[in-house]
Amino acid sequence: MTTTTPRPGSRDRLLDAAAELFYREGTGTGIDALCRAAGVSKRSMYQLFGSKDEVLAAALERQQPGLEARLLPGPGEPEAPRARILYVFERLADAADSADFQGCPFLAAQVELKDPGHPASVVAARSKERMADFFRAEAGRGGAARPDLLARQLMVVYDGASVRAGVGVERLGDGLAADTAAALLDAAGVTA
């Protein structure tokens, strides 16, 4: 008896194709290319989404949990705030080693769109704020005198490392981003 895996529905195929194409080709990817890659008609796309902007926003929204699961440590793993923060930079280095790594998809969308009110920019900003919230909470737990400032500094390192690795200017496997984050943690007094 042969079992077949059901083919994903049009919405899922559109979101999968959008995530891949917009990440690889940029947000300027046309609707024709998107629909062709997803194997759906433009009519079907417009029945599911009001615009390409809505597809892009939904595709980013859908990526958020998976990206967080790959980058952020689970509860208590590791336990110490410093190790939890550095875990993110170590996972970034691992991701950057992939041949298809082109940086953070959320930051890429924000940079390309240049419109903070665009639906995809709103989703991306929320994602970036969630990471900053993680850094802020761990910095506070670790005793940083100014956890808000440290979180902002860590975001600059994360985003900068992501962009530089994404365009092939830097390799992160040598600990560049993690070591830079560690220096910020040392300066802020987050030692455990």
Tens-digit pLDDT profile for residues 68-80 = 999 999 988 899 9
DSSP 8-state code for residue 142:
T
DSSP annotation string for 75-141: TTSS-SHHHHHHHHHHHHHHHHTSTT--S-HHHHHHHHH--TTSHHHHHHHHHHHHHHHHHHHHHHH
- In this prediction, residue 118 carries a pLDDT of 97
Mean pLDDT by 10 residues, the chain (192 residues): 64 96 94 96 95 97 96 92 98 95 96 96 98 98 97 98 96 96 98 90
Domains and their CATH numbers in the chain: 60-188 (1.10.357.10)
Q: What is the pTM of this model?
A: 0.92
**Cα distance from N-terminal residue to C-terminal residue, the chain:** 56
Among residues 182, 175, 81, which one has the least CA distance to residue 136?
81
- In this prediction, residue 182 carries a pLDDT of 98
DSSP 8-state code for residue 74:
P
Please say whether the beta carbons of 29 and 21 come within 8 A.
yes
